[in-house]
Amino acid sequence: MSCVAPHRLAEFARGGLTGRGHARIAAHVDDCGRCRDAVARLRDAQRAFAAIAEREAPELRWDRIRAQTYWTTGSLTALPVARPSRARAVAAWAVGPLVLAGAAAAWFAVAGSAGEATLTDRSVRTAMAPLDAAADPTPEPVTEAAPLVGVVTLVEGRGEIVTAGGATLVGGSAVGAHRVGAGDRLIGDGRLAVQFGPNSTFTVGPRSAVVVARLDDRAIELVVEPAARVDVEVAARAPGQRFVVHAGARAVEVRGTAFRVERGADGVAVACEHGRVAVSSADATVELGAGQKLAVGDREPLLGRAVEPMELTELSELAAARPAGLPLWTDPETIFRTTAALPLLAPTGHAVAIDGVPTGTGSLWRRLPPGRHLIETTDPRGQALPGRWVEIGGEPSETPVVLAAEPELTATGTAAARRARLRELSRAIDAVALRGCVRSLSKQGLAEGTHVELEVGVSTAGAIRYLNVIDTDLPDRVTACVRDVVGRARLTAGAQVAWRHTITF
Amino acid sequence: MLSLVAKQPSDPARAGDRPLSGLDERELVRRCKANERSAHDELYHRFRRVVAANLYRVLGDRGELEDLVQEVFVIAFRGLAQFRHEAQLGTWLYRICLNVAFGKMRARARRPAAIAVADLEAALERSDGDRPESPARALERREDQARVYAALEKLAPKKRLVLYLHEIEGRDLKDIAYLVDSNAVTVRTRLFYAKREFYKLLAEAAPPEVP
């Protein structure tokens, strides 16, 4: 009898065969050493099945996962958007064709009389429609536009607002308490974010200034000053409401999208993360889709200017810079009443994450829902420092939360203490297990001369508080094994020290 | 109603602290659909460990486990409006877990990753208190599990999923068909080829490279 197929041997090993089938394979296995070995291996594996099925979940950062989940799904809990009634919908159906016919007539009249450059690109022509609406001679409705209020949600560094009334507000607390409206000039030291609706936020970039030219239910218009940047995320606007960013001679108009407008010394750069935006000037309009960018000099014509695809790194950077809004939005007054301010003091360059969401760097002021929040920082090298929980209430707080300037464990110990700890660690490491990590490499003669450089931090209680792999020329799996073996070493109480150590094989 | 009982209890230690801990599943889902934050909290607390354990067992390591747990709950909260109680909530969540794990496996297939031996060790360390065993036996068990996951890793994701559900979790074809959103005949065929491949790998497997 030839050798049995492994899946049949597995059935046999499990005891799933009976009668003649079982007897035939049993007889073969008795005679065949290869199949006997295979059965032994399969039995071992089948025993492992039960252990795998019973594996428990490792302990995870449950609060962090929950916070991130809520941030991601936050828009679910926003108040429902009022939908037009059936009667209004019917009216829209009736009025729609009339408006379209009027618009078409106006288009042909303008195109015929002016004789300007003809745009053959359909998408470009489509994008012009809302912009041309601004030049529509139809008189505005007599009703007044209702002003909107912007809520400051993030101030990185020392933000500043020069209000329409001429007052100058400086610093997170003063800026954060201000109700942003038309005529305000916003100056970002780091970033300064303003939310004006659900999923609708704009962020003034670092060392940038933006004037809120208009903020009402008909239009939101921002004017980007020279050498300034603004990142915008805006949900679909109410019918008829425009959102325009003016940057010199160019205007960038959107309906629902996330994008960046950067005004340099002699030109404008626009990058669209998602949705569509239309960049216009007196001569033409160019439309950008998701992942596209456009750079045009102030003196260059926009007509015929080609958009370019963004690099992956640019897109990632744009996504990371997405404006920091609140997961919940009702109306500004409720937001002011029910949210709380959290001023944080952190050293320059230290990244800060709130509830697992990267929020900014250095000292910042953030508006948040009241409750417990997890604040995490990194050192300038990007290594995480221990996080801490902060409880904030509904009242504004003037007392900033001070975040650690350096890791809790630094090389605070004396050289003698570090040498003593190193000797102790060397003795405590399981040398057999360590050699086992590189056993397979040793068999191939590849282990000799390899190394793992570790950064080790030990507390006074003798616990290894952190263990970072700084450099290695070993495969990931072996490195993880080495780190694991070192991490299992048990030390006694003594000096709190941190040091770098290289293990060479 | 299809009912696949979750293999692990939820978080009983803190159940008393939660105001909605006594709520039955139907009412909990109703409140979640009404966007009650406390109901979302309760659902998260009730199923977070089950979800994490499911992903951990299927994938074999804890790399990116937190992100995957988060992904499962984001999908669940967004998809609750479509939940019609045709299966138990735990089963429905398990199906999402498998989908998320499947996506992860496909990503890994494009960029293979080593199995995290440390995770297996951590699992063994936890079980030491329940059943003391010799270091040699612990090493053997670790090697066996590493070998199983190494063989699973070599299967195509679809085959791996049905094989895991049938051979390791012991589920029948009908359950598997529901969980992987397929039909029993397809599952049976896929399982046949998966078993042939998997046991061939196991039978020929050299001792794993674990310390």
pLDDT single digits (tens) A159-180: 899 988 888 888 888 888 899 9
Give the mean model confidence (pLDDT) for residues A119-137: 31
> What is the number of other CB atoms lying within 10 angstroms of the CB of residue B199?
26
Q: What is the pLDDT of residues A424-442, one digit of tens each?
A: 888 888 888 888 888 887 8
Alpha-carbon gap, residue A163 to A165, rounded angstroms:
5
Q: Which long-range contacts (CB under 8 A, 24 or more apart) does A289-293 make?
A: A291/A315, A293/A269
**Cα dihedral A12, A18, A22, A24 sign:** negative
Instruction: Name the residue with higher pLDDT: A153 or A340.
Output: A153
Alpha-carbon gap, residue B134 to B138, rounded angstroms:
6
Alpha-carbon gap, residue A380 to A364, rounded angstroms:
16
Alpha-carbon gap, residue A104 to B117, rounded angstroms:
69
User: What pLDDT score does A194 carry?
Assistant: 92
Band of pLDDT at residue B210, cut at 50, 70 and 90? very low
Average pLDDT, whole number, for chain A?
75
Which residues in A lie closer than 8 A to residue B168 (C-beta atoms)? 49, 52-53
Alpha-carbon gap, residue A462 to A493, rounded angstroms:
5
- A73 and B CB contact within 8 Å: yes
Asked whether this complex has an ipTM greater than 0.85, the answer is no
User: What pLDDT score does A333 carry?
Assistant: 84
What backbone phi and psi angles, to 5 degrees, belong to A476?
-55, -45
Band of pLDDT at residue A289, cut at 50, 70 and 90? confident
Binary contact (B209, A440; C-beta < 8 A)? yes
Alpha-carbon gap, residue A203 to A261, rounded angstroms:
11
Q: Which of residues 54-93 of B touch A (CB under 8 A)?
A: 56-57, 60, 62, 65-66, 69-70, 73-74, 77-78
Q: A270 with A229: CB under 8 angstroms?
A: no
Band of pLDDT at residue A321, cut at 50, 70 and 90? confident
Band of pLDDT at residue A417, cut at 50, 70 and 90? confident
Band of pLDDT at residue A70, cut at 50, 70 and 90? confident
Band of pLDDT at residue A74, cut at 50, 70 and 90? low
A161 residue type, one letter: I
pLDDT at B51 over 90: yes
3-state secondary structure of A411: coil
Structure token digits, residue B75: 């999908």
Band of pLDDT at residue B134, cut at 50, 70 and 90? low
Least confident of A16-20, A186-190, A359-363, B1-5: B1-5
Containing A128, the helix (H) or strand (E) segment is helix A122-132
User: What pLDDT score does A413 carry?
Assistant: 66
Band of pLDDT at residue B161, cut at 50, 70 and 90? very high
User: What pLDDT score does B18 carry?
Assistant: 66
User: What pLDDT score does B66 carry?
Assistant: 86
Of residues B114, B144, B167, nearest to A477 (C-beta): B114
**Minimal Cα–Cα distance from A285 to chain B, Å?**
37
Write the CB contacts of A439 (distance below 8 Å, at least 6 apart in sequence).
B209, B211
Output the CA torsion B165→B171→B173→B179 (10° steps).
-60
Q: What is the pLDDT of residues B69-116, one digit of tens each?
A: 988 998 898 888 888 888 888 899 999 999 999 888 887 766 544 444
Which residues in A lie closer than 8 A to residue B57 (C-beta atoms)? 52-53, 55
Give the mean model confidence (pLDDT) for residues B153-173: 91
How does DSSP assign A166-204, residue by residue? S-EEESHHHHHHSEE-TT-EEEESS-EEEEEETTEEEEE
Q: A373 with A397: CB under 8 angstroms?
A: no
List the one residue out of A162, A150, A85, A160 whose CA is nearest residue A367. Answer: A150
Q: Which of A396-410, A417-431, A442-456 is modeled with the greatest confidence?
A: A417-431
Output the CA torsion A314→A317→A323→A325 (10° steps).
130
Least confident of A134-138, A187-191, B21-25: A134-138
Band of pLDDT at residue B205, cut at 50, 70 and 90? low
R_g of chain B, CA atoms, integer Å: 19
> What is the number of other CB atoms lying within 10 angstroms of the CB of residue B27?
12
Give the mean model confidence (pLDDT) for residues A44-69: 82
Q: What is the reported pTM?
A: 0.42
User: What pLDDT score does A136 carry?
Assistant: 35
User: What pLDDT score does B126 carry?
Assistant: 45
Structure token digits, residue A246: 């003016």
Least confident of A199-203, A281-285, B129-133: B129-133
3-state SS of A426-482?
Answer: HHHCCHHHHHHHCHHHHHCCCCCCCEEEEEEEECCCCCEEEEEEEEECCCHHHHHHH
Alpha-carbon gap, residue A500 to B46, rounded angstroms:
43
For an interface test with A, the pick among B145, B154, B190 (most A C-beta atoms closer than 10 Å) comes out as B145
The residue assigned the tokens 């025993």 is A47
